[in-house]
Amino acid sequence: MNRLRGKVAIVTGGNAGIGEAIAKAFAREGASVVITGRRQAELDRVVGDIVQGQGMVVAVAGSVTDELHVREVVRRTVQQFGRLDILVNNAGIGDFGKRLHETDDATWTHILDVNLNGVFRMTRASLPQMLKQGAGVIVNISSIASLIGLPTLPAYAASKGALDSLTRALAVDYAKDGIRCNVVSPGLIDTPMAAPLMNNPEQLAPILARYPIQRAGKPEEVASLVLYLASDEAAWVTGGTFPVDGGITINGKGPS
Ligand code: NDP
């Protein structure tokens, strides 16, 4: 109940899927939470849920591709709650089903702009406040796509691989300032992003067969790990890449 008592957190893409679970877990543990995302109705829904559970939450609608929105998120956070302790860069999109030679410029650029440049923008906007406070935590939501080769998602894999490297670079640059940065790398999680696959049993079965724990993960199972990394319990943990993936990345069996 009190693992994040007194902390203030931003969760991008906090209005659905994994981000929603993270925002709710943070609020349950006593954090004041600012959630972002483009869809106002989904922001309102999550705000309603958190308020009903006596949590503190504010929503700021917009896209991580928009520098003005990004600055506004940080400004509102500090204005409303007086500080910023935790940034979870969770907002992300995928474009699945095409190989590289079938990927057009617009798709490539858009995926990189949300999944990588969005993290750059949010982190750049957040760091001055964390530096002022002399402390902070950044958790970047990557993917197993940056750890193992997966078919037909080249832009997505490239964006997440770069995100892992960026996180390590940040961990080194900002450790002396009391700021920790880690990566969480989920396997297949049952969220709206994964719905097309989850709703296609023929496609899903061979994929799940590769998972030692033979099911998809739940958003709450990712949130538990993010909660640990965001809390003071992880005070000596920085620069790490943490799979939460039912064992897929250590599976020696290969495709079944
Ligand atoms: P969902 O599609 O369920 O949710 C994505 C979230 O990101 C939504 O809140 C969405 O809100 C937000 N979002 C998307 N684009 C933008 C944008 N331009 N600006 C701001 N917010 C945006 O996906 P998941 O919850 O599954 O994914 C969350 C993260 O986890 C992503 O980074 C994803 O890559 C990663 N991940 C997911 C896996 C899975 O199997 N589900 C596996 C591995 C990693 P809105 O649409 O309102 O903007």
pLDDT grade, residue 256 (50/70/90)?
very low
Nearest in space to 36 (alpha carbons), one of 113, 78, 90, 75: 90
**Is ligand 1 within 6 A of the CB of residue 55?**
no
- Overall average pLDDT of the 170-177 stretch: 98
The answer, yes or no, to whether residue 62 has pLDDT greater than 80, is yes
pLDDT tens, residue by residue, 80-121: 999 999 999 999 999 999 999 999 999 999 999 999 999 999
Superfamily designation of domain 8-250: NAD(P)-binding Rossmann-like Domain (3.40.50.720)
Whether 135 and 178 have beta carbons less than 8 Å apart is answered as yes
Q: Residue holding tokens 């923008």?
A: 121
The answer, yes or no, to whether residue 79 has pLDDT greater than 80, is yes
pLDDT at 254: 52
Alpha carbon distances (Å) from 10 to 13, 96, 182: 10, 28, 15
Pocket test for ligand 1, best of 189, 208, 226 (most atoms within 8 A of CB): 189
pLDDT at 128: 98
Q: Which residue ranges make up each domain of the chain?
A: 8-250
Q: Tell how far the Cα of 43 is from the centroid of ligand 1, in angstroms.
A: 13
pLDDT tens, residue by residue, 1-45: 799 999 999 999 999 999 999 999 999 999 999 999 999 999 999
DSSP assignment of 30-64 equals T-EEEEEES-HHHHHHHHHHHHHTT-EEEEEE--T
Nearest in space to 55 (alpha carbons), one of 43, 65, 67, 46: 46
- Overall average pLDDT of the 166-176 stretch: 98
Q: Which helix (H) or strand (E) holds 73?
A: helix 67-81
Q: Is 140 helix (H, G, I), strand (E, B) or coil?
A: strand
Nearby residues of 166 by Cβ (< 8 Å), 6 or more positions away: 116, 119, 120, 140
- Overall average pLDDT of the 153-162 stretch: 98
Q: Which helix (H) or strand (E) holds 124?
A: helix 118-133
**Is ligand 1 within 6 A of the CB of residue 243?**
no
Kindly state the tokens that stand for 50: 């958190």
> Does the annotation count 156 as an active-site position?
yes
The answer, yes or no, to whether residue 255 has pLDDT greater than 80, is no
**Is ligand 1 within 6 A of the CB of residue 146?**
no
Radius of gyration of the chain (CA): 18
Q: pTM, whole model, 2 decimals?
A: 0.98
**Is ligand 1 within 6 A of the CB of residue 185?**
no
**Is ligand 1 within 6 A of the CB of residue 183?**
no
Pocket test for ligand 1, best of 146, 191, 199 (most atoms within 8 A of CB): 191
**Is ligand 1 within 6 A of the CB of residue 92?**
yes
Mean per-residue pLDDT over the chain, rounded: 97
Nearby residues of 132 by Cβ (< 8 Å), 6 or more positions away: none
Q: Tell how far the Cα of 90 is from the centroid of ligand 1, in angstroms.
A: 6
Pick the atom of ligand 1 nearest to 15's CA. Answer: 9
The answer, yes or no, to whether residue 141 has pLDDT greater than 60, is yes
Please identify which of the residues 156, 174, 211, 228 carries the catalytic annotation: 156
Residues of the chain with pLDDT > 70, as a percent, come to: 98
